[in-house]
Copies of this chain bind each other. A is one copy, B any other.
């Protein structure tokens, strides 16, 4: 791998694309050259990177010549169409969509958990689902110490996980409610302002949503733990940024709150925020725009043996998307 790679960002003008640019810059990723790609509609726009304005170009099959690393965040259908083209052109694709995550040929990586898996790529590396990544940041260190059997969880997911249009929708609906106007809907099937929607991604015949099954399926692959079981209800809440997850986890080995803290305090990418007597616990507002996820409300689960209950918050545009993708690129450089 080129030590100062030519990096492309596909979907550069989207909510995650913009965070990818910020993250590359903030982490001083050794970008040799940068190419910004997006749909024809966004081509010609200019975006700032390292104090320069750079023009966005239209994504075409010819876009990938000479590019070393392409960070994709333009939706599953763009990834399915252009990911293999980019890989064939010799570029390593780091894909934020769900298109390739469960493909056995594609590593699915959270660098703090299974960074070495990047080495087995065949041109495409997948970035996990946001709720999965955030949950695993706290769960995996506990798994290493106590071996997790299963979890029961519920999520509190921010609208920016849906994209920029959903942020506008929450802003617009709040102002409509405040001004006593009728509430209009474009993105979500129901009003999200002052409401919560137990509906993220589409429904499967089992009654779970696709989003809900990602935690178990992607969790098994990332943790190399095929027996892991996870039941979650994924819920959209009127929060702009950062997801939270309430978890009850059952372990094979005996666990205590103190032994859990000892593990969590050493875990990379994770801050323990847990002083309830001082009203300190993870909050989406405080996890927003931070690289580290936060864990708190750690307690012995009162409905299972060897069980812990806890609460994680994390910025799903960062650890759940852009940061993790850039970390995968860093891992590639470090290991190859």
Binding site for B on A (CB under 8 A): 150-154, 156, 174-175, 178, 189-191, 194-199, 203, 206-208, 213, 216, 229-231, 233, 235, 237-240, 244, 246, 248, 257, 276-277, 279, 281-285, 296-304, 307, 309, 311
Contact = CB atoms under 8 A, between A and B. Distances in A.
A235 B230 CA distance: 21
Closest 10 pairs between A and B when the two form their complex, measured CB to CB? A207-B299, A154-B154, A152-B152, A233-B246, A231-B303, A189-B279, A229-B303, A203-B276, A154-B246, A195-B285
A150 B305 CA distance: 12
User: So how many copies of this chain end up in the complex?
Assistant: 2
Nearest to A190: B283
Chain A contact residues: helix, strand, loop or mixed: mixed
28 contacts: A150-B303, A150-B304, A152-B248, A154-B154, A154-B246, A156-B235, A175-B178, A178-B178, A190-B283, A191-B285, A194-B238, A194-B240, A196-B239, A196-B283, A196-B284, A198-B246, A198-B282, A198-B297, A198-B311, A199-B279, A206-B299, A206-B300, A207-B257, A208-B309, A216-B302, A231-B248, A231-B304, A238-B239
Q: Which of A216, A296, A311 has the most CB of B within 10 A?
A: A311
A208 B299 contact: yes
Given A197-B283, A213-B302, 14 more contacts: A150-B303, A154-B154, A156-B237, A174-B178, A196-B237, A198-B246, A198-B283, A207-B276, A207-B298, A208-B309, A229-B302, A230-B303, A231-B302, A237-B237
Nearest to A281: B198
Nearest to A247: B233
Contacts of A213: 302
Contacts of A151: 303
A257 B205 CA distance: 12
Given A276-B203, A279-B190, A233 B302 contact: no
Contacts of A284: 195-196
A110 B197 CA distance: 27
Contacts of A304: 150, 231
A233 B297 contact: yes
Q: Which of A196, A246, A301 has the most CB of B within 10 A?
A: A196
A231 B305 CA distance: 12
B238 A246 contact: no
Contacts of A152: 152, 248, 303
Contact of A302 (B189, B196, B208): B208
Contacts of A235: 156, 244, 246
A303 B230 CA distance: 5
Contact of A239 (B190, B195, B208): B195
Nearest to A152: B152
A298 B304 CA distance: 23
Contacts of A246: 154, 198, 233, 235
Q: Which of A238, A301, A304 has the most CB of B within 10 A?
A: A238
A196 B311 CA distance: 12
Contacts of A197: 283
